[in-house]
Amino acid sequence: MKRHTVKELQGMIADHSASSQEIYKLYNNRIRAMNDSINAFISIESDEYSSGNKQADSEISGVPYAVKDIFCSEGDQTTCGSKMLSNFVSPYDATVVKNLREKGTVILGKTNMDEFAMGSSNETSFFGNVNNPWDLERTPGGSSGGSAAAVAAGMAPIALGTDTGGSIRQPAALTGITGLKPTYGRCSRFGMIAFASSLDQAGILSISAEDSAIFLEHMAGYDQKDSTSSKETVPKYTDFLNNDLSGKVVGLPNEFFDGNLDSRFQELVTDSIGEYEKMGVKFKDISLPNIKYSVPTYYVVAPAECSSNLARYDGVRFGHRSTDGKDLDAFYKQTRKDGFGQEVKRRIITGTYVLSAGYYDAYYLKAQKVRQLINQDFLDAFKEVDFIMGPTTQQSAFKLGEKVDDPVSMYMNDIYTISSNLSGVPAISHPIGFVDRLPFGLQIIAPHFKEHELLNIAHKYQMATDWHLQTPEICKEID
């Protein structure tokens, strides 16, 4: 089975070697053939093309894509991977979905995810865990694991995800694809069900950086429905992809290269640095002194915002509703007890605690102050360098169930990614090789609203290597 990039599909539609309907059917058939093994999709929109597609005069018209089941799409089940929303059908489109729909793209289905985007392994979903296409006994990462697995397995050419602490980049690294987290505010959050509002950002999982550039320029932009969206001009990202990298300076944080990375993964990172040096990129050691506080800071701020955002799920207006309870208070408690999974409950309780009287100043306020220190580290670093680079994860995909009973160990999976969410800067992960036949990724971070430079540097690497084109064995069993 061949995995097609968005760029290739554009060419097929343009030269009439395949119609958009034929392409849609191809992917629909692949999903039905592979989903029992991978569990990447919660729902499949089998009649989306015939019933909802309007051809538009757009370069991505007719291109199908998958949508993480955290984005509302009109008339579709939108569950957030939770029993709480398992019966919810959205009456409207999220802005990013609306933007893409207006360009003639078509939704293949809604992808599986950690419940309410809370998790790093896609094992907290009410609809079951997602399996990594490279090894079905291993995690694809989370929380956008369904989107990552769908793209890696060729079930979708490209997919939307969300990134709150690494939830696009980490699964991209573990499944051997490209994952882009744009600058906070670059894409509207309207219609994207909230986990932690000051951290959540819509992004893209794709085979290549070029594909991410193609989609980002159509889904990004200011939205008056989202007070946090930016009015910064959206460039045509594809125009920057082939810019020369000579003279660009990349910072290597001491905190990312502290000797704790397994030597096999370190070798892949070193090799990728060498590849960039061939393109004229220069490297220098830098320090981000406060980044060591990223994980504890995140796990105060994110649960605090989660406890507030998820207070609306009480069984009264929409979603799961308990039939038990002697009075209103008991009804609320039983609904939330039944509707939420263990990880969501853990974070709600943590968030409620750090926001409570007597603890707000000690925990939440202090975490917000440390967050500003982390942001300042990035601002200072970008006065000296154009990019910051390091591993995306500490390891390749681990086995399902291996860390599910150890939440602290699970939280540490995002140790390299969380800081860019706390500071709001854009970041990308792209594959750089394999260890024990499992993919591994490199993360590159850029200043705010420099996605065009981020996509440029990743694209140039992918033009010189073919790690992003490697496909799992499971793909060979289809078509």
Using left for φ > 0, alpha for ψ between -120 and 50, and beta otherwise, residue 273 falls in alpha
Whether the CA torsion 112, 116, 122, 124 is positive or negative: it is negative
Contact 195, 445 (CB under 8 A): no
Residue 54, SS3? coil
DSSP structural state of residue 71 = B
- The span from the CA of 251 to the CA of 271, in Å, is 16
Catalytic residue among 82, 167, 212, 396: 167
Marked catalytic residue, from 143, 188, 206, 307: 143
Active site residue 125: no
DSSP secondary structure letter of residue 450: -
Is 157:18 a contact under the CB 8 Å cutoff?
no
DSSP codes joined into one string, 306-335: HHHHGGG-SSSSSS---S--SSHHHHHHHH
Catalytic residue among 68, 83, 450, 460: 68
Q: How far apart are CA 282 and CA 248, in angstroms?
A: 6
Active-site annotation holds for 83: no
46 is catalytic: no
Q: 3-class DSSP state for residue 320?
A: coil
Residue 449, classed as helix, strand or coil, is coil
Neighbours of 329 (CB within 10 A): 9
- Provide φ and ψ at 184, rounded to 5°: -60, 125
Active-site residues: which are they? Answer: 68, 143, 167
